[in-house]
A and B are shown apart, each in its own frame.
Chain A
Amino acid sequence: MLTSGPVIVIEVPEQLNEAEVSGFMQELGPLLECNRPRIVLDCSQVLSVDSAGVEMLLHCLEEALKRDGDLKLAALSPQADVILELMRVARVFEVFQTSEAAVRSFTTVPADALGQPAPWYATVFGELGALKQAG
């Protein structure tokens, strides 16, 4: 049976560049290796991100998805927001206004998943069944 651990919130350092990436990965790497990792990266302190930083974020997302988990970004600073948009990766991540909202998103079921409409073919088969009965 698959189980998942708690949602983990990690604060991203001010500078997410080549020099900082290895240190940050040492912290983040083990968390990604568990089953269904659920991670929120709090980017409120981020002042600059370079291509190595973006590469690392994408790698982490990939690792999380591989293990049926997810990695979400929260509280993007304007600087981080601009860089992620510039590098076309903003749309790859789910981004939330606050870390709390990001954490909640892991635990709540999306509203549209609750009340799914009946598939369109149901009525067709229903009608066919009625026809058979009539016949």
Chain B
Amino acid sequence: MAGAIVIVEPEAPRGSKLAHAPFSAGFKRQRPLASGEVLGRSVLGRVVENLESAGIDPIALVGNGSPSHDALDRKRAVASHALTQLWQEATRKLAGLREQKLDAILILTVGAYIEFGPAEMLEFYRELNGPVVRAHDKEGELNLWVFDPAKIPVDVGLMNYLQARKPVPYSVQSYVNRLQSPGDLRRLVVDSLSCRCNFKPSGVEVKPGVWMGQGSQVERSVRLVAPAFIGRGAKVAGQCLVTRASNIESNSQVDYGTVIEDSSVLSNTYVGIGLDLSHSIADGNHLLNLQRGIVLEISDPVILRRLETKGRVETGRRCLADVASREIAASSAEGIRR
């Protein structure tokens, strides 16, 4: 029997590309990349689904959603501390899982999107009979381990234990996206829409390469050039053009005559009339231009703004709430699809 602990990284680890990217400060912390919606579902939701489909139970989630992200902006030192706190929380979760007599626990941090077979990794671990196993890909180590909970002394923190051991490498051959920068987020969308990975858009494929979510409204005069994705409840007004693997996430609106090219419009975002959105990610009133690597905060609501829907909860938080509800062992599959 195996369980899992999933840690949702509050931000990129120190020293990562994102930590140094000029646009990170204004953009990423608005919404953690792993818990925001991408092609209709969060990375976190997909990871949990993957674990569940492999029969991993229970799955404990560590992350807070996170109301402290603004504070992270103000004090950089607080940020690394936040990750440490999450590991402490993971250690506490481990104490709860010990009682369930599990022979193995998978622990992963959802900063990256890793396509792996949990069952295969567990089989690899069981054949070795005991040592800590850590996943690697061709670029290096991944934050994905398997270990025996019975071997961890009660008074040792999980992070310390994993760092102290020399793990046996488990090679991940399939798709990995480290999601270290918003550019990686775009790459994930493009790879997914181009069928280069198993990250499938959540919706109906209305014509080859064009997916639409439930309740999305696209006017007749709109040109959707495949591949493209329109999320649930999104609206695209007349004479718009959506092209080059662009995605318009849930409950967003693109107004009349606008061109969305090689861009992502994240959830609950309004994009104004007659604009050219190219090589960009729009999130509320923030616009990240990937070609120039700059983030703009657009104060003019006619151009770009966050749509406040009734009873709206920030996507990241909603996602965490969904997953947390699954943590209760007998949770149904319905919850996460909501």
Decide if A51 touches B287 in the complex (CB within 8 Å).
no
B292 at the interface (CB under 8 A from A): yes
CA distance A50 to B276 in the complex (A): 15
At the interface with chain A, which of B67-75, B204-212, B298-306? Answer: B298-306
Find the residue from A48, A79, A82 having the highest chain B CB count within 10 A.
A82
B278 at the interface (CB under 8 A from A): yes
A86 at the interface (CB under 8 A from B): yes
In chain A between 80 and 105, which residues have their CB closer than 8 angstroms to a CB of chain B? 81-83, 85-88
Decide if B296 touches A85 in the complex (CB within 8 Å).
no
Given contacts A50-B299, A51-B300, contact A85 B278 (CB under 8 A): yes
Decide if A82 touches B289 in the complex (CB within 8 Å).
yes
CA distance A50 to B287 in the complex (A): 13
In chain A between 103 and 125, which residues have their CB closer than 8 angstroms to a CB of chain B? none
A81 closest partner in B (C-beta) = B292
B289 closest partner in A (C-beta) = A82
Q: How many residues of A contact B (CB 8 A)?
A: 14
Decide if B299 touches A51 in the complex (CB within 8 Å).
no
Given contacts A51-B302, A51-B303, contact A88 B296 (CB under 8 A): no
Residues on B with beta carbons closer than 8 Å to the beta carbon of A81: 292
A56 to chain B, nearest CB (A): 13
Residues on A with beta carbons closer than 8 Å to the beta carbon of B300: 17, 50-52
Binary interface encoding of chain B residues 212-249 relative to chain A, with 1 for a CB under 8 A from any of its CBs, else 0: 00000000000000000000000000000000000000
CA distance A88 to B261 in the complex (A): 13
> Which of the four size classes fits the interface of chain B?
10 to 19
Decide if A79 touches B299 in the complex (CB within 8 Å).
no
Decide if B274 touches A88 in the complex (CB within 8 Å).
yes
CA distance A122 to B77 in the complex (A): 78
Binary interface encoding of chain A residues 20-63 relative to chain B, with 1 for a CB under 8 A from any of its CBs, else 0: 00000000000000000000000000001011100000000000
A77 closest partner in B (C-beta) = B294
A86 to chain B, nearest CB (A): 5
A43 to chain B, nearest CB (A): 14
Given contacts A88-B274, A88-B276, contact A82 B294 (CB under 8 A): yes
Decide if A86 touches B299 in the complex (CB within 8 Å).
no
Decide if B296 touches A79 in the complex (CB within 8 Å).
yes
CA distance A51 to B280 in the complex (A): 19
B292 closest partner in A (C-beta) = A78
Decide if B275 touches A88 in the complex (CB within 8 Å).
yes
A55 to chain B, nearest CB (A): 11
Given contacts A78-B292, A79-B294, contact A85 B276 (CB under 8 A): yes
Decide if A87 touches B294 in the complex (CB within 8 Å).
no
Residues on A with beta carbons closer than 8 Å to the beta carbon of B277: 86
B276 closest partner in A (C-beta) = A88
A80 closest partner in B (C-beta) = B296
B272 closest partner in A (C-beta) = A51
Residues on A with beta carbons closer than 8 Å to the beta carbon of B302: 50-51
A38 to chain B, nearest CB (A): 29
Given pairs A52-B300, A86-B275, A86-B280, 15 additional interface contacts (CB within 8 A): A48-B298, A50-B299, A51-B272, A78-B294, A82-B287, A82-B294, A82-B296, A83-B296, A83-B298, A85-B276, A85-B278, A86-B277, A87-B274, A87-B275, A88-B276
Q: What are 10 A-B pairs with beta-carbon distances under 8 A?
A: A48-B299, A50-B298, A50-B303, A51-B302, A82-B287, A83-B296, A83-B298, A86-B276, A87-B303, A88-B275
Query: Which B positions have Cβ atoms within 8 angstroms of A?
Result: 272, 274-278, 280, 287, 289, 292, 294, 296-300, 302-303
By Cβ-Cβ distance, the 10 closest A-B pairs, closest first, are: A50-B300, A82-B289, A78-B292, A51-B302, A78-B294, A88-B276, A51-B300, A86-B275, A79-B296, A86-B276
